[in-house]
């Protein structure tokens, strides 16, 4: 019997990429590939790249080069690039990086097994020619669902697959294979984006916004719960638009309570919310539904009106602060995080002061700060009033220091609070860590528990916050507080 083909998936970038990797893993395993954790143990190393900003692109190239090095002293015979950077640059990436034996776009995902086999056998699969994926679906959202079957939508793999197609498959099995044992998993709610922010290239290579059907999201969540997942995080480029192409812009409000009722799920988290699209009903559901985290990942980007207009976004400091006041009037413990761009073309000192005014008043739990850099193909790249890179770097350093101080202060405000923490790691030397409802995986802080007695990964425990370490919290479990999976709450 021939030796089984082995493949390793190396994932960079956001949670959306993680979902895509697990769909690729499901397809490959269904076709007989053996999945291995370490690229050095694989015949083929598949690097799921990120193409969002320059730093992420560099990380992707570094990962491809690192995987290529394995070919000289390991089992690895081929290195293949997939993901956003591969989709965005296609042939250009292949020519610039001959170390990659293949550069595959989203259209190759359904035939990923054949593509890898061709490359592994020494054949050549032509790198795809990038195209504007916004043109693949109708302009009108209401007409998109009928056309969706003909368009590659990573992470939208079908559910209700035949027995044996996915691990532990059954009537709810998605085309997905988990790549780790984490009690947290992301679920694609939609793909693409219809917004036209002047600094962002994502819509051009991820396409127009299209929602997954609620039944698919529910089925995948049920399957994940059967795999031991306790928290799901709904991801897309813009969750606040969910349902608009299905005829119901309020569909998320009705879907969230259904997801929260799935057997075994202890927490449902929603990411990627647009401030300009927040509506009272959605705020109500996010702040009052048992097991739905009162967590708001709001994409503010800036707060000075002039900068926001140049970004083709909406709002200002006072409107954003009013939104946060509304949220906290309904859930004082709500978690809020956001990202900001400094040094945008035309940003003045007074614009920067306005952003500082917002940050000082917002009491955000987590803040990401990025210095502006041109992204090819975007409107902002054509703007004339660019700031000197030294000025951008200086403003980035200044706002980053302020952000670090503010999130530490916000963490200190939580001392004395009682929280429900999902245990994510238990180690005799490093201790027991978990996350509360206001902390998303990877991007936000975490909770260090003062005692790990009786705790295991995937358990919910009620704790009292007794201290802080920067953005992280230190908390002690309350006596008899191990939560049963049937308990509701946050």
What is the per-residue DSSP string for 92-109?
HHHHH-TT-SEE--GGGG
Encoded tokens for 58: 């560099």
pLDDT tier at 481 (50, 70, 90 boundaries)?
A: low
With residue 427 as reference, give the H or E element that holds it: strand 418-427
pLDDT confidence tier of residue 488, bands split at 50, 70 and 90 = very low
Its sign, for the CA torsion 480, 182, 270, 13, is positive
Q: Band the pLDDT of 160: cuts 50, 70, 90.
A: low
For 260-287, what is the HEC assignment?
HCCCCCCEEEECCECHHHCCHHHHHHHH
* pLDDT higher than 70, residue 166: no
pLDDT in tens, 327-368: 999 999 999 999 999 999 999 999 999 999 999 999 999 999
Structural tokens at position 431: 């201790």
289-326: per-residue pLDDT in tens? 999 999 999 999 999 999 999 999 999 999 999 999 99
Per-residue pLDDT, 490: 41
The angle subtended at Cα 272 by Cα 266 and Cα 277, nearest 5°, is 115
Which of 154, 220, 229 is closest to 185 using CA atoms?
Answer: 229
pLDDT above 50 for 487:
no
pLDDT for residue 286 is more than 70: yes
pLDDT at 54: 75
Which residue numbers belong to the known binding site for [4Fe-4S] cluster?
14, 50, 84, 193, 197, 200
Instruction: Report strand pairing: 431-435 vs 447-449.
Output: antiparallel
Q: Is residue 486 scored above 50 in pLDDT?
A: no
pLDDT at 400: 98
9-27: pLDDT as tens digits = 999 988 899 999 999 999 9
Could you tell me which residues are annotated as the binding site?
14, 50, 84, 193, 197, 200
Residues 156 and 212: beta-carbon distance below 8 Å: yes
Residue 415, burial from CB neighbour count under 10 angstroms (0-12, 13-18, 19+): middle
Q: Tell whether the model's pLDDT for residue 489 goes beyond 50.
A: no
Burial class (CB in 10 A: 0-12, 13-18, 19+), 181: exposed
Structure tokens at 417: 């609070």
Q: What is the 3-state secondary structure (H, E, C) of 12-72?
A: CCCHHHHHHHHHHHHHHHHCCCEECCCHHHCCEEEEEECCCCHHHHHHHHHHHHHHHHHHH
pLDDT the model gives residue 161: 55
Q: What is the mean pLDDT of residues 447-458?
A: 91
Predicted local confidence at residue 484, as pLDDT: 41
| The token pair that represents 97 in the structure block | 């990086």
Read off the pTM: 0.92
* Strand order through the sheet with 78-83: 34-35, 6-11, 44-49, 78-83, 102-103
Q: What is the mean pLDDT of the chain?
A: 91
Q: If you average pLDDT over residues 131-140, what whole number do you get? A: 90
Which of 201, 29, 205 has the alpha carbon at shortest distance from 130? 205
Where helices occur in 386-425 by DSSP H, the ranges are 389-413
Helices and strands of the chain, counted as H and E runs: 14, 18
Candidates 267, 231, 278, 233; CA nearest to 14 is: 233
């Amino acid at each position: 019997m021939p030796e089984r083909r082995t493949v390793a998936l190396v994932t960079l970038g956001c949670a959306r990429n993680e979902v895509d990797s697990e769909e690729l893993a499901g397809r490959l395993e269904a076709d007989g590939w053996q999945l291995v954790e370490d690229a050095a143990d694989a015949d083929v190393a598949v690097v799921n790249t990120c193409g969002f900003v320059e730093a992420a692109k560099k990380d992707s190239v570094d990962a491809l080069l690192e995987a290529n090095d394995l070919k000289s002293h390991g089992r690895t015979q081929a290195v293949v690039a997939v993901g956003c950077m591969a989709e965005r640059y296609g042939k250009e990436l292949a020519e610039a990086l001959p170390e990659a034996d293949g550069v595959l776009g989203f259209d190759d995902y359904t035939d990923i097994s054949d593509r890898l086999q061709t490359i592994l056998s020494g054949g050549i699969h032509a790198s795809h020619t990038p195209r504007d994926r916004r043109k693949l679906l109708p302009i009108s959202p209401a007409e998109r669902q009928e056309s969706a079957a003909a368009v590659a939508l990573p992470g939208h793999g079908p559910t209700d697959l035949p027995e044996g197609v996915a691990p532990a498959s059954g009537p709810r099995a998605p085309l997905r294979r988990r790549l780790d044992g984490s009690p947290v998993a992301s679920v694609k709610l939609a793909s693409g984006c219809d917004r036209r922010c002047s600094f962002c290239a994502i819509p051009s290579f991820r396409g127009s916004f299209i929602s997954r059907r609620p039944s698919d999201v529910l089925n995948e969540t049920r399957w994940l719960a059967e795999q031991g997942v306790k928290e799901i995080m709904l991801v897309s480029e813009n969750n606040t638009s969910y349902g608009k192409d299905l005829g119901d812009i309020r569909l998320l409000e009705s879907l969230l309570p259904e997801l929260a009722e799935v057997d075994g799920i202890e927490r449902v988290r929603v990411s990627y919310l647009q401030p300009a699209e927040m509506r009272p009903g959605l705020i109500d559901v996010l702040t009052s539904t048992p097991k739905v985290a009162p967590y708001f990942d709001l994409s503010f980007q800036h707060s000075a009106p002039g900068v926001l207009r140049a970004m083709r976004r909406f709002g200002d400091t006072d409107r954003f602060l009013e939104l946060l006041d509304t949220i906290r009037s309904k859930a004082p413990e709500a978690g809020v995080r956001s990202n900001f761009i400094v040094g945008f073309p035309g940003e003045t000192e007074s614009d920067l002061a306005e952003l500082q005014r917002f940050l000082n008043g917002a009491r955000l739990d987590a803040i990401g700060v990025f210095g502006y850099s041109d992204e090819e193909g975007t409107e902002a790249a054509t703007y004339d009033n660019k700031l000197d890179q030294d000025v951008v770097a200086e403003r980035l350093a200044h706002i980053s220091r302020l952000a670090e101080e503010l999130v530490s202060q916000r963490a200190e405000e939580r001392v004395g609070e009682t929280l429900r923490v999902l245990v994510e790691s238990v180690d005799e030397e490093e201790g027991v860590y978990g996350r509360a409802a206001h902390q998303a995986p990877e991007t936000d802080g975490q909770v260090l528990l003062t005692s790990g007695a009786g705790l295991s990964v995937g358990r919910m425990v009620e704790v009292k916050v007794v201290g802080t370490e920067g953005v992280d919290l230190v908390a002690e479990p309350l006596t008899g507080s191990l939560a049963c999976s049937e308990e509701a709450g946050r």
